[in-house]
Amino acid sequence: SISKMIRIANRLATRCYQHHHSKRWLHLHEYQSLKLMKDGGLQVQNGSVAFTPAEARSVAQGLLNAYRKRHGDNYAQCDLIVKAQIHAGGRGKGFFSNGYHGGVQILADPSEVFEASGNMLGHTLVTKQTGPQGQPVRALLINEGITILNEMYLAILLDRKYSGPVIVASKCGGMDIEEVAESTPDEITAIPIDIAIGVTEEQAEEAVTALGLLPFGLREQGKHQVKRLYELFLAKDATQVEINPLAVASDGNLYCVDAKLNFDDCASYRQPELFEQRDTTMEDQRELKAEEIGLNYIALDGNIGCLVNGAGLAMGTMDIIKLHGASPANFLDVGGGATQEQVKEAFKIITSDPNVKVILVNIFGGIMKCDVIARGIINASKELGLDQMDIPLVVRLEGTNVKEGMEALEQSGINVITATDLDDAAKKAVNALPANAAQDFDHNMA
């Protein structure tokens, strides 16, 4: 369904597991995405990025001067939009670590922009999508405001069902498209594109009709924008190009007001300039550390830390933890050739999460040998002092050199809860949770 397609695309934009590597697809800030769109022939608002309050005021003054030059003294005022640049939505309703409210401000004067910028830059913005830890704000986008007559939704994304790109268009823009897909799916049109042919005239017409642009006399401009958007999607090896909203403005133009662009990591060698724009301060530092040492780690919000070999087994481990009434704190796949040192580093990453109350190790040894994992567990436990940290350790080993691995654990003197199979391991991990951790989980689920 269209609802499922959009939901999956948006989730993959934030978390993904590719065939060889588990990591985020490249995310860009809004100002970077809009520059790409402008360079690609799409209409965006006038504006620029600022990294200090003084730069923000200068940009705002420049926008105001240009506006007055175009419109004369009779139209001497325009809105100045200040947007905090983070990799999350919900900025307008967010709050900063210093108590300042609103990551999007509509202001009238460069002096107001200067003051607001001082309250945003260098502080952490918390929104419904960032989690309580928030994200640091190091850049602001200062835009010239436009008078919006109508808002729509337009995206191009990869869809497995169609084995290629799909245009998704809706008259309902400026809102959560997943909610639209659930409540009024007829308001969304999906148009699969043959990648060997591209967007045809008929498909562009269908998209423009689905957007509701015909009453505004914007057929040709709309078709042009749809085609340019697809060209950008293809040229930059994008996995998702989403404009929400695409807006009809009072000046008779279509504007890409807000954009989300994501790109395939496998294309990094073809898009070096694009990938140089990656802002690692927006990413989980544990994930970055794991990437550096060749581990596949994704932070989650549960309290049972997982160390598993193989993506499928890792996913199955997470599912069974949920089945038994708890929640995983992470996805961590050590792969088939992990060393003792990598295992030790994996434990460091897992235990750096303050939410982790139990660690579950689930290894099915094929290429990965159980005795290597066991020695890594022993070294990590002793070096990190897991016993002193009061974090129960549940271990299930099976496969190559399992006998040697189990003997090493038994003779090590560390506290280990051994399990016979995955189901047994998940039950023991859940039972090992402190009572208050289990209560917190039940409360969150309710």
Distance CA 181, CA 187 (A): 8
For 321, how many CA atoms within 13 A lie in the half-sphere containing its CB? 31
Query: Residue 380 to residues 158, 356, 366, 377, 392: CA-CA distances in angstroms?
Result: 41, 16, 22, 5, 14
* Structure tokens given for 110: 């460069």
Token pair 């959009």 is at which residue? 6
For 190, how many CA atoms within 13 A lie in the half-sphere containing its CB? 19
Contact 228, 40 (CB under 8 A): yes
Chain CA centroid to CA 428, Å: 32
**Catalytic: which of 31, 55, 144, 153?**
153
Whether 100 is catalytic: no
Helix or strand run (H / E) with residue 149: strand 148-159
Which residue, among 170, 125, 147, 162, has the nearest Cα to 67 in the 3D structure?
Answer: 147
**Catalytic: which of 55, 242, 287, 345?**
242
Helix (H, G, I), strand (E, B) or coil at 175: coil
Whether 153 is catalytic: yes
Helix (H, G, I), strand (E, B) or coil at 407: helix
Which residue, among 304, 105, 114, has the nearest Cα to 96 in the 3D structure?
Answer: 105
Contact 332, 356 (CB under 8 A): no
Distance CA 238, CA 32 (A): 14
Which residues, in sequence order, are CB contacts of 161 under 8 Å at separation 6+? 5
Contact 332, 297 (CB under 8 A): yes
Which residue, among 160, 178, 158, 163, has the nearest Cα to 238 in the 3D structure?
Answer: 158
Longest dimension (CA), the chain: 85
Helix or strand run (H / E) with residue 305: strand 304-308
Helix or strand run (H / E) with residue 284: none
Contact 409, 361 (CB under 8 A): no
Contact 46, 251 (CB under 8 A): no
Parallel, antiparallel or unpaired: strands 124-126 and 95-96: antiparallel
CA angle 154, 93, 283 (to 5 degrees): 75
* Structure tokens given for 13: 């934009």
User: Active-site residues: which are they?
Assistant: 153, 242
